[in-house]
Homo-oligomer: A and B are copies of this chain.
Amino acid sequence: MDELVRLSALDEIRKLKARYFRCVDTKDWVGFGEVFTADAVLDMSASSAIVDGPVIEGRVAIVDWARNAVKPLVATVHRGYNDEIEVTEPGSATAIWAMQDTLWFPEDAELAGYDGFGHYHDSYILDDGQWRIARARLTRLHVDVTTR
């Protein structure tokens, strides 16, 4: 693969994942949908989350799930860092991203706060000229939950 093409792809993929995080936290659901391929899979089954972690198939279902998960919350902050992106062939890439997500619950919720730490294991494809997330799987190192 041409090295310049590879470095450009890294930049695009880094920004793609940044949009994923930003669109959740700003509740930009149109923008959030655009980061995924139509048949993307979001695998939260190992996310050790406070709700059961589903495996969600398809952009529409992923957006619905995320919107419903975020709706009752006061605020969310999702962070990605220390990305290890590998462009495996010109239109395909994988990555591991370290992540942290912090959630604030409303006054009448049983939980007060949630702070989670883990890694995303992603694959991306060049989809009609745009890099998009084809699969993302979240694993956890630790989760802190604060009750009232």
**Interface positions of A (Cβ within 8 A of B):** 3-4, 7-8, 10-11, 14-15, 17-19, 21-22, 25-26, 74-77, 79-85, 96, 98, 100, 102, 104, 117, 119, 141-142
In the assembled complex, the Cα of A38 lies from the Cα of B3 at a distance in Å of 29
Q: In the complex the two chains form, is A84's CB within 8 Å of B19's CB?
A: yes
Give the 10 A-B CB pairs with smallest separation, nearest first. Answer: A18-B82, A75-B142, A77-B117, A15-B84, A18-B84, A81-B81, A21-B82, A75-B141, A25-B141, A7-B7
Q: In the complex the two chains form, is A18's CB within 8 Å of B83's CB?
A: yes
Tell me if A's interface is mostly helix, strand, loop or mixed. strand
Q: In the complex the two chains form, is B22's CB within 8 Å of A119's CB?
A: yes
In the assembled complex, the Cα of A120 lies from the Cα of B42 at a distance in Å of 28
For residue A146, give the distance in angstroms from its CB to the closest CB of chain B: 11
In the assembled complex, the Cα of A4 lies from the Cα of B4 at a distance in Å of 7
Q: In the complex the two chains form, is B98's CB within 8 Å of A21's CB?
A: yes
Q: Known: A75-B142, A117-B77. Contact between A18 and B104, CB under 8 A? A: no
Give the residues in chain B near A22, CB-CB below 8 Å: 82, 84, 96, 98, 119
Q: Known: A7-B8, A19-B84, A82-B18. Contact between A77 and B96, CB under 8 A? A: no
In the assembled complex, the Cα of A85 lies from the Cα of B11 at a distance in Å of 9
Interface CB pairs A-B, < 8 A, 30? A3-B4, A3-B8, A4-B7, A7-B7, A7-B8, A10-B11, A15-B83, A15-B85, A17-B82, A18-B82, A18-B83, A18-B84, A19-B84, A21-B82, A21-B98, A22-B84, A22-B98, A22-B119, A25-B98, A26-B141, A74-B142, A75-B141, A75-B142, A77-B117, A77-B142, A79-B82, A80-B81, A81-B81, A81-B82, A104-B142
